[in-house]
Amino acid sequence: MRTAEIVHAESRALGDFAGAMSPAAAASPPRIELRQDDVRNGLGKLVLTVVELLRELLERQAIRRIEGGSLTDAEVERLGTTFMRLAEEMTRLKHEFGLRDEDLNLDLGPLGKLL
């Protein structure tokens, strides 16, 4: 009967894994350091991206309704004014958060760009 031969392999990755699995490592989980400005800007970027997506969807729907003739002249005027004010406010907020138009266009990988 053959006895099993024990092979010792040394690897930095295995050493890192063993260190992470030790009881001492489990007692003190790694900490995430958050900076207030990073959180604020990240949240601002997320909110502005969602608002921009909704604005584009609403604008496309408004154009379809205008072209379809289902809106009165007053409604068309009100829509135009609303979209102009929204664009101005978006410009102001992007400036406040230090963002550009490209920053709000998230890359969704194989699905392409969001906007």
Residue-wise pLDDT tens digits, 51-71: 988 998 899 999 999 999 999
Alpha-carbon span 22 to 34, nearest angstrom: 26
Question: Over 60: is that where the pLDDT of 14 sits?
Answer: no
Q: How confident is the model at residue 29 (pLDDT cuts 50, 70, 90)?
A: low
**Cβ-based neighbours of 103, under 8 Å, separated by 6 or more:** 45, 94
Alpha-carbon span 115 to 106, nearest angstrom: 7
Residues 19-25: what's their mean pLDDT? 58
The model's pTM is 0.61
Residue-wise pLDDT tens digits, 67-87: 999 999 999 999 999 999 999
Instruction: Concatenate the DSSP letters of all residues of 34-74 into one string.
Output: --HHHHHHHHHHHHHHHHHHHHHHHHHHHHHHHHHT-S-HH
